[in-house]
Structure 1
Amino acid sequence: MNVSLPVFHDDLSEEELDKIADKATAASAFLKAISHEGRLMILCHLVSGEKSVTELEDLLSARQAAVSQQLSRLRLEGLVVPRRDGKAIYYRLADDRPRKMLETVYELFCGDDA
């Protein structure tokens, strides 16, 4: 994917500047949501598919309250989607943004040159 960054110049309209600012706000919220190690690890586990809260607790070696708190933040930011099956709650990635971000992070920090 080849994405061009916005170029700021003197003749940008107020509408164009507002659009850039709105996208910056959304990107900032996304980055804040993934900036916690626990939330980042949850997203890593969900890349391979849907997991129950209990599965995530085991995978993260974390208490239910801590996992639920992090899942709540990820849900609030629209990064994960819950599904209830009886008493169990399962989570999956809401869309492809977390996967793309994790691929970029992996490339930056775990690639051949890292």
Structure 2
Amino acid sequence: MHDELADFDMPEDDQVDLAAETFRLLSDPTRIKVLWALLQGEQSVACLAELAGTTPTAVSQHLAKLRMSRLVTGRRQGTFIYYSAADEHVRRLLAQALHHADHIDPAPPH
């Protein structure tokens, strides 16, 4: 059936794996809050903890995972590290997810 579609193209397995890992990382509400805050501008761990309503320790753990996945970057200034979203792709991904959430009927289908 898909052979009949001229432009049918499946992504490569490594692309699918990386996309799935990104979605796994974004499945945590605190990480979404942290990323959204970082999309507003560079932030410290203490500021992110306040914005996300959690502890600096928890934010640091989330940031470590987000940095390993390259969704977040850090810049050291003296003894502080200031974090920011990695690029415009992160903004679009999060904006689309939040936009989609705004358009979901909260009542589960029957």
C-alpha distance in 1 between matches for 2:89 and 2:27: 14
Of 45, 59, 80 in structure 1, the residue corresponding to residue 37 of structure 2 is: 45
Partner residue, 1:59: 51
Q: Helix, strand or coil: the match of 2:74?
A: strand
- Shift >4 Å, 4+ stretches: none
Structure 1 residues 1-114: aligned runs within 5 Å:
9=3, 20-111=12-103
What is the TM-score when the length of structure 1 is the normalising length? 0.78
- 1:43-100 Cα offsets, whole Å, 9 max, x none, are 1111111111111011122111101000000001000001111121100011122211
CA RMSD of aligned residues (A): 2.2
Structure 1 residue runs without a partner (length 5+) = 1-7, 10-15
Identity among equivalent positions (%) equals: 31
Aligned length: 101
AA aligned to 1:37 is P
AA aligned to 1:93 is A
